[in-house]
Chains A and B, each alone.
Chain A
């Protein structure tokens, strides 16, 4: 059912875009108003979310240590898995953010005759890494629509990405990786029973939406080709705040654009905010220097304790009888 809801939602979105452009020809709505609104929603939403996170303090220093602490000088500590200073924390975060270090540890348990057997399970890590990196590179490549002239680094990346020169226009490596990895992540959710069990519409929907974005982009580049100069004209119009709709960009472009707009607007209120959240995670971004440097809790308040005086008052006679020293005879 959760899958059904998400699938229907994505189909509905596609129909809206097709109906809106090919049907009632509301180009300004789909080419200008919705993209702007979506972009504003994205910026405002993400800012709001980050402010909300940042407003809650970090009362305790609670890193999860995944390696040897720094203690005695002759015991080799693990500066990345159990960092004791800021460079170590930065290193740990770099590994997490760029290479998904923790996910790389993933293993798979099977019970054979009541015994857990631990097997490797690197596919999730590999697909996750492929998906996120190719997504990033694809977004970066799209910058060529927003700059005139196109920055050198964008061109260079596109050249590298299309190195194999398969077909005309060149098949981008990242496009292929992207589609394969999203498909894997989607099928994995369906195929693994316990994953299907935990999956919400909010898990299927973004995957299907992103898949639809990727497919529409792929079709636009390789099948239903559109005039890229006109697309760039439109994009530059947005950037210069003088948006106007060039004649004759194909419907597939507006479909692609609409789905991207939905993704942007949906982003801040969904699990996709994990992108920003990973930087703030207190089990990862704090040093394991707890006993070296005091961490201050901004809301630390006094509590009711049982004082030594109260304790001795209750047990004084027994303590004296047992020869335990007391404060007051």
Chain B
């Protein structure tokens, strides 16, 4: 599906938040084109050893489920209720107060009541009650319980792949019920019977084999990074070597593969390369651990662990002291909240210390992995970088907090500090749409695929409208973010809802402003777009 085939924005934004007359249990999911993702190809399931690989489509009547699919799901639920207190608790304690209802970007953009987090959770809760509580077994529908049928399973698929695990609802829930956690359980269960989507499993399968989601092989990665370094040389006049799989380096750098694969991520990548070169960082990239992102998070806890294992394994093999991570959202959910537990302890690494400022990153002393926004903010604070922020004067910038760094890390000020130091025109979006209340790009959690474009644009509506507001008020033309998925999904979102706003990583802005030793007179920014003429006196 392309933007051209979609209804006009004026049409798509006509959303009614009025629920239908029929009760939700009587309304099975309807698989409308543009609102769901293609099922995973059997080869990807086979590559990962996942059950029930087969050809099927979500729009088919017959999903070719295993004969005992119901037992598999219920057994899976039982195991997860016993393993995750979050799951058991969140099944029991919701009071349906509705505080979460209009906090979901998919609900705001689609008006579909099952996108209210409370109802999306009820899809699973109703089955929990039927099979795991006495009142549900005895009273059935009166207790809000219902049988697990094929229609219910299809509904799970439709709506659990219509949640981006952004956790915005959990900020508002008086009990902290986190829909992301429920979606994760729902997806784990669906995976047990082979109901998964290709846009998640193909990257996962790629990552397992080649080390990154995009399936880039080691020599390909070298070509890409060299190509980006060449771009830097063309535009900045500084030759940069890109260290790969170098043993004995002090720091291993891991970022989403999308950063060296496609625009505008590559511009962010230029920023990384320039920064590391300029400060003389003793570091290396890895082709084996060439992915910071982790689509296992969107599959199962087990898959998350399987894909994440590479990072520590590679750090150990290369003998680095600590790990630095690039700009990415869900990647940092995994690194911050899961990695140490899954694959730690990282006792073979040192507690991270910045080689330039000698700052000890106390907040990363166990996991031993530092976010690049923390790293760069520290460099800027200590005056280790020569920055000419006027080189970003053609940009009027706003900042989109990516869901996971905001709501699973609390990384709010570091990127802002960096932006304020490299840009002169920075404007915040409305308070209800930033920081812990930030809105998803609409394509997180593996949903950023083009067949799902209508739903992405709907889910991205609250974010887009907030950008539109600062565009109209302050002339904002650049949307900064610290997430590779954002860099892939926000450009079409902007093109559709707010034409004229481009998307950038924070380190692209850093690269623009960074004054490098031996650089030529900058005539363009990193995108090759000419810089506006300036007075000589300012040109220091």
* B17 x A319 contact (CB < 8 A): no
Q: Does B215 contact A (CB under 8 A)?
A: no
Q: Does A114 contact B (CB under 8 A)?
A: yes
Residues of B with C-beta under 8 A to A292? 362-366
* B144 x A103 contact (CB < 8 A): no
* A282 x B96 contact (CB < 8 A): no
Q: Does A203 contact B (CB under 8 A)?
A: yes
Which residues does A use to contact B, with CB under 8 Å?
1, 5, 49, 52-72, 74-78, 81-82, 84, 96, 100, 102-103, 105-109, 111, 113-116, 118, 124, 128, 192-203, 269-271, 273-274, 277-278, 280-284, 288-297, 299-300, 303-308, 311-312, 314-315, 318-319, 321-325, 327
Residues of A with C-beta under 8 A to B94? 271, 274
Residue in chain A with minimal CB distance to B346: A294
Nearest 8 Cβ contacts at the A-B interface:
A114-B13, A69-B410, A277-B93, A65-B410, A322-B219, A283-B176, A82-B410, A197-B19
Contact A203 B95, CB 8 Å, known A62-B408, A304-B306: yes
Q: How far is the CB of B311 from chain A (nearest CB, A)?
A: 11
Residue in chain A with minimal CB distance to B22: A197
* B217 x A53 contact (CB < 8 A): no
* A116 x B465 contact (CB < 8 A): yes
Our pick among A1, A61, A69, A278 for the contact of B409 (Cβ within 8 Å) is A69
* B96 x A324 contact (CB < 8 A): no
Q: Does B43 contact A (CB under 8 A)?
A: no
Give B351-387 as 1s and 0s: 1 = Cβ < 8 Å from A's Cβ atoms: 0000000010111111111000010011001000000
Residues of A with C-beta under 8 A to B417? 75
Residues of B with C-beta under 8 A to A198? 24, 96, 98, 101, 113, 116, 118-119, 122
Q: Does B85 contact A (CB under 8 A)?
A: yes
Complex Cα gap A311–B309 (Å): 13
Residue in chain B with minimal CB distance to A318: B219
Contact A303 B305, CB 8 Å, known A58-B86, A60-B337, A102-B176: yes
* A64 x B167 contact (CB < 8 A): yes
Q: Does B287 contact A (CB under 8 A)?
A: yes
With most chain A CB atoms within 10 A of its CB, the pick from B83, B122, B208, B368 is B83
* A271 x B93 contact (CB < 8 A): yes
* A102 x B411 contact (CB < 8 A): no
Q: Does B393 contact A (CB under 8 A)?
A: no
* B178 x A283 contact (CB < 8 A): yes
Residues of B with C-beta under 8 A to A282? 85-86, 89, 176
Residues of A with C-beta under 8 A to B19? 193-194, 196-197
Complex Cα gap A273–B90 (Å): 11
* A291 x B85 contact (CB < 8 A): no
Residues of A with C-beta under 8 A to B95? 203, 271, 274
| Count, A-B residue pairs, CB within 8 A | 320
Q: How far is the CB of B84 from chain A (nearest CB, A)?
A: 6
Residues of B with C-beta under 8 A to A306? 208-209, 306, 310
Residue in chain A with minimal CB distance to B436: A66
Our pick among A270, A299, A304, A324 for the contact of B244 (Cβ within 8 Å) is A324
Q: Does B143 contact A (CB under 8 A)?
A: yes
Contact A324 B222, CB 8 Å, known A72-B414, A278-B93: yes
* B97 x A124 contact (CB < 8 A): yes
* A100 x B174 contact (CB < 8 A): yes
Our pick among B170, B219, B314 for the contact of A319 (Cβ within 8 Å) is B219
Residue in chain B with minimal CB distance to A202: B144
Residues of B with C-beta under 8 A to A115? 13, 465, 468
Residues of A with C-beta under 8 A to B87? 56
With most chain B CB atoms within 10 A of its CB, the pick from A269, A278, A283, A303 is A283
Our pick among B176, B306, B314 for the contact of A308 (Cβ within 8 Å) is B314
Complex Cα gap A68–B217 (Å): 38
Complex Cα gap A65–B436 (Å): 7
> Beyond the given A201-B144, A297-B342, A318-B217, could you list 14 further A-B residue pairs with CB under 8 A, ordered by the A residue number?
A64-B170, A69-B363, A71-B363, A106-B172, A198-B116, A271-B96, A273-B92, A274-B93, A283-B176, A292-B363, A292-B366, A300-B342, A303-B302, A315-B210
* A103 x B365 contact (CB < 8 A): no
Total interface residues on B, CB under 8 Å, equals 119
Residues of A with C-beta under 8 A to B86? 58, 62, 281-283
Q: Does B187 contact A (CB under 8 A)?
A: no
Residue in chain A with minimal CB distance to B94: A271
Complex Cα gap A77–B411 (Å): 10
Complex Cα gap A293–B133 (Å): 36
Q: List 15 A-B contacts (CB under 8 A).
A: A57-B83, A57-B85, A66-B171, A102-B174, A111-B108, A116-B465, A200-B143, A271-B93, A278-B93, A283-B178, A290-B337, A292-B364, A296-B341, A318-B217, A321-B219
* A294 x B219 contact (CB < 8 A): no
* B88 x A53 contact (CB < 8 A): yes
* B374 x A72 contact (CB < 8 A): yes
Q: How far is the CB of B146 from chain A (nearest CB, A)?
A: 11
Residues of B with C-beta under 8 A to A53? 85, 88-89, 92
Residues of B with C-beta under 8 A to A64? 167, 170-171, 176, 178, 407-408
Residue in chain B with minimal CB distance to A57: B85
Q: Does B151 contact A (CB under 8 A)?
A: no
Q: Does B523 contact A (CB under 8 A)?
A: no
* A293 x B366 contact (CB < 8 A): yes
Residues of B with C-beta under 8 A to A319? 218-219, 245, 287
Residue in chain A with minimal CB distance to B303: A303
Our pick among A65, A118, A294 for the contact of B341 (Cβ within 8 Å) is A294
Residue in chain A with minimal CB distance to B461: A116
Residues of A with C-beta under 8 A to B345? 294
Residues of B with C-beta under 8 A to A283? 86, 170, 176-178, 181
Q: Does B313 contact A (CB under 8 A)?
A: yes
Give B412-440 as 1s and 0s: 1 = Cβ < 8 Å from A's Cβ atoms: 11100100000000000010110011000
Complex Cα gap A159–B300 (Å): 57
Our pick among A55, A68, A78, A273 for the contact of B82 (Cβ within 8 Å) is A55
Give B73-110 as 1s and 0s: 1 = Cβ < 8 Å from A's Cβ atoms: 00000000111111111001111111101110000100
* B363 x A70 contact (CB < 8 A): yes
Residues of B with C-beta under 8 A to A55? 82
* B359 x A72 contact (CB < 8 A): yes
Residue in chain A with minimal CB distance to B12: A114
